[in-house]
Amino acid sequence: MDIAALNSTKVLRWNVLRWMCFCFGSLSAIFSAFNLTVNNFYTLGYLEICFSLYCLYTFIRLGKQPLQAWQSIVMCALITLIVVFGTYIATPKNGVFIWSFALPILYYLLLGKYAGVILSASLLSLQSIILFEKSPLLPFTTFNLSLNLSLTYISIWAVSHIFEVSRAHSSKRLKNLALLDPLTGAGNRLSMSHYFEVELQDKSQLFLFLLDLDFFKQVNDKYGHDVGDKVLVEIAALLRVTLAKGYVFRVGGEEFALLSSFKNADDAFAAAEKLRSIVETTNIDIDGKVINLTISIGVTEYKNGQTLLEFVNSADKELYKAKRLGRNKVYG
């Protein structure tokens, strides 16, 4: 699987924002000309010109650079300002307020469910106050119109919310399936690659522990693979608890990799030795069978410019030395 495929949410928001810029930028240019020449709404017209230019700038920028969070925030803020201000200065028969119905969808697609709830509720309150105060319609008609408008807006809001919650949940499940080892719950090789290449921005003082369970095949041979699998689950949990600030990945049958930052090599070796000692002294109880294991650990520090493969190969060499020296060792 391509690592980029794991960023489906970011890709979705990039596409939505880019083509929203194209559409709204074009429409804003048309409306600005109309408001400046026909409606004489000069402030709104100039505001729409600025918005159109920003849309053009963002459309071009997104074609060359990745999406930044602030771009979605600015876009939502600007279009909300234009719709609310247009509703305020125009009469209801101009229909500017109708654009409000499109905004909850954009809020959720661009900013997620939490911002979607807050912004959709805020927009509903603002537009309701503005329309209620300036509507010239008769009370009975106003009530019916207000009821229909409110229910339509709330329906669109509800659909947007349900869609975003479902999409986020599905995306999280798919990401977990792609990134987590199904047996132990530790990260897998793809997860390790994703973390190293995408999420980990600062790789200074980064250390990799590559560890192997000594003579694990004997556990499978003696107790069976079901017991062996349960032992792996227990070991993965033990590693996560012991290395609280690090990340644990299962990279082979009985091989794990741990990534964590330390102040210096001495601290890293002390942490590795602590891991080795805890595993050695832990009796793992599986269905009444007490199993004791040891581990061999290869430790290496990240060197600037290294690829993940080079980083892992460096740790693998240290692990090989630890095993060659008799196992149940830390080497680096």
pLDDT in tens, 98-108: 999 999 999 99
Q: Which long-range contacts (CB under 8 A, 24 or more apart) does 225-234 make?
A: 227/286, 227/287, 227/289, 227/291, 229/183, 230/286, 230/287, 231/284, 231/286, 231/291, 231/293, 232/183, 232/184, 233/183, 233/184, 233/185, 234/284, 234/286
Using an 8 Å Cβ cutoff, are 51 and 78 in contact?
A: yes
- Determine phi and psi for 210, rounding to 5 degrees: -110, 115
- The tokens describing 182, both together, are 């199904």
Q: What is the mean pLDDT of the chain?
A: 88
d(CA 83, CA 73): 16
255 is catalytic: no
For 186-239, give the DSSP string.
SB-HHHHHHIIIII----TTEEEEEEEETTHHHHHHHH-HHHHHHHHHHHHHHH
- The tokens describing 287, both together, are 């269905």
257 DSSP β-pair partners: 210, 249
Those residues whose C-beta lies under 8 Å from the C-beta of residue 207, and which sit 6 or more positions away, are 259, 260, 261, 262, 265, 268, 299, 300, 301, 302
Percent of the chain with pLDDT over 70: 95
Statement: residue 202 has pLDDT above 90: no
Closest CA relative to residue 80, chosen from 39, 114, 125: 125
pTM (predicted TM-score): 0.69
Count the neighbouring beta carbons within 10 Å of the beta carbon of residue 216. Answer: 18
Catalytic residue among 164, 197, 234, 254: 254
Residues 109-129 have pLDDT tens digits of 889 999 999 999 999 999 988
- Determine phi and psi for 283, rounding to 5 degrees: -95, 120
Statement: residue 20 has pLDDT above 70: yes
Mean per-residue pLDDT, 62-79: 88
Mean per-residue pLDDT, 76-102: 90
Statement: residue 140 has pLDDT above 50: no
Q: Which residue would you say has higher pLDDT here, 99 or 175?
A: 99
